Amino acid sequence: MSAARSRTNEWRRSLEELCQKGGALEIAIARDDARGHDLVWRLRILEVRDSGIVVENPGAFGRALPLHIGTRLVAFIVIGQNRWEFRTSVTEEILPGKFQDARNGASRLALPDHVERCLRRHARFDVGPLTLAPIDVWPLLDPKTVVAAERANELAFAASITGAVATEKTDEEAMLPQVGPRFTAHVANIGGGGAGLMVDAENAGLLSHHRLFWLRLEPSDGASVPIVTTAKLVHTHIDSSQRTYAGMSFDFSFNPGHQKVVAEQVERSIRNLERRQTQ
């Protein structure tokens, strides 16, 4: 029996080994339609038992984002270049403190009946049940100019919540700081302090000339106001398809108050996706 076939048949042991090594599951909220794109979260595995798989809750931009009981998920076991997927759901919400270092609290997920082998996630952007979210990226030329752009975004978001019409000019170009040429990447995963982006070879050269970037992401729930933030390039590596994986760290040093707004946008998007599952 091949190693890949063996791992598929013995997924429970693979999960237990990942747990012992401090590994993670990659998860996304399951969608029943083709609207929007998927954000993939890397969640540390805390426990694997007959009662389920316990993972640390996602977090973003300094805020914990607990998953609610009944939320249906698509989950991925990633070991080296191999990847397996399964469907699961949240069966228990666990408060912070029960598991050491689980600062965001944790969730217990139902054990799957079986797992299926699938293509390595970075082999293409449209992956099985998921479509990785595209994100607009610009090299940031003057970090001080992000303050005005972020403020315009904050006003637009506040207006969208109340249903009011924003009085500020919301033209996309007017809401940009001083930046270089735009390119499009895809969000491979998102975590508490940053995100991993997949960048095509034709745009990867910009990563070697800049360290600060301006990011604009359309929320996965289709909300009208994009999420914008500054990010610092931390590391890169090239995959087998000659795409560059760029590890980005979110940077709010020029406008600390913007972190709270972005966290609210991300949480609102997640809650909207959860609500859609019950409609």
The CA distance from 225 to 172, in Å, is 11
Q: Say yes or no to pLDDT of 242 above 80.
A: no
Domains 3-127 and 133-278 share a fold: no
pLDDT tens for each residue of 243-276: 899 999 999 999 999 998 888 888 888 888 888 8
- The DSSP result for 9-59, as a single string, is HTHHHHHHHHHHTT-EEEEEE--SSS-S-B--EEEEEEEEETTEEEEEPPE
Amino acid in the structure at residue 125 = F
Residue-range domain boundaries for the chain = 3-127, 133-278
Instruction: Name the 3-class secondary structure at 242.
Output: coil
Cα dihedral 233, 29, 53, 121 sign: negative
Q: Which of 263, 179, 174 is nearest to 214 (CA)?
A: 179
- For residue 84, CA distances in Å to 2, 26, 33 come to 15, 10, 22
pLDDT confidence tier of residue 174, bands split at 50, 70 and 90 = low
At the second CATH level, the architecture of 133-278 is: Beta Barrel (2.40)
Output 278 or 127, whichever has higher pLDDT. Answer: 278
Q: How confident is the model over 84-103, as pLDDT tens digits?
A: 889 999 999 998 878 877 77
Alpha-carbon span 235 to 279, nearest angstrom? 41
What percent of the chain stands above pLDDT 90?
34
Per-residue confidence band for 194, with pLDDT thresholds at 50, 70 and 90:
confident
Q: Answer whether 0.85 is exceeded by the pTM.
A: no
Q: Please report which confidence band the pLDDT of residue 35 belongs to, taking 50, 70 and 90 as the band edges.
A: low
Pairing outcome for strands 116-118 and 82-94: antiparallel
- 97: number of Cβ within 10 Å: 10
Q: Which of 29-43, 55-69, 133-147: highest mean pLDDT?
A: 133-147
Six-digit token string for 156: 């637009």
Residue 237 CB contacts under 8 Å (≥ 6 apart), including other chains: 244, 245
Kindly provide the b/e burial profile for residues 52-65, where b requires at least 16 CB atoms within 10 angstroms of the residue's own CB.
Answer: bbbbbbbbbbebbb
CATH topology of domain 3-127: Pnp Oxidase; Chain A (2.30.110)
